[in-house]
Structure 1
Amino acid sequence: MSSETRYLARLQFTADGPAVEGEWDVPGPAQDRYTKWVGLYGARPTVVIRLITETGGRRHELTTWTARGERKGPPP
């Protein structure tokens, strides 16, 4: 298992529904995609958009967007 850190943006139109996910080696593109998705889909009442880091197979949610607004995750 690699200890390399990956950065992900994840979009779901419903909390338990299928996801669209992008994955990058650096944080900038993941943050940009997260921001773009919030602008495009963030007003929908059931959408969930997440910015995630993954290291060694373990995921940590940095930021989550729902119709109620943005929530920052605890530090890793």
Structure 2
Amino acid sequence: MGTRHLARLQFTADGPADEGEWTVPGPAQDRYTKWVGLYGAQPAVMIQLITETDGRQHVLKTWTERGEAAGDPES
């Protein structure tokens, strides 16, 4: 199993997510950036850039209304 590159968008905490998945990192980064521009100022939004290998996810970046942070804000 190879590495997957994900961009995930949620409008509410623990709510449904819109997610894109790619086999290379560029499109995932592009989608993350696009979503930040479109939705980043909304109050409860969370946008994440994630890599997944062998079923284990690693959050690279998280954007909330407070701005960007490295990794997962809950860890």
| TM-score bracket for this pair, using the shorter chain length | over 0.9
TM-score normalized with structure 2 length = 0.93
State the alpha-carbon separation in 2 of the partners of residues 28 and 8 from structure 1: 10
* 4+ residue segments displaced more than 3 Å: none
* SS state at 2:37 partner: helix
Structure 2 unaligned residues grouped into runs of 5+: none
How far is the alpha carbon of 1:47 from its aligned partner?
0.3
The amino acid of 1:61's aligned partner reads V
Indicate which of 27, 50, 53 corresponds to 1:52: 50
Match of 2:20 in 1: 22
User: Does residue 36 of the first structure (1) align with residue 72 of the second (2)?
Assistant: no
Deviations 1:19-67 (A, max 9, x none): 0000000000000000000000000010000000000000000000000
How far is the alpha carbon of 1:15 from its aligned partner?
1.6
Percent identity at matched positions?
Answer: 76
Match of 1:66 in 2: 64
Match of 2:9 in 1: 11
Q: How many residues align?
A: 72
Structure 1 unaligned residues grouped into runs of 5+: none
The amino acid of 2:66's aligned partner reads R
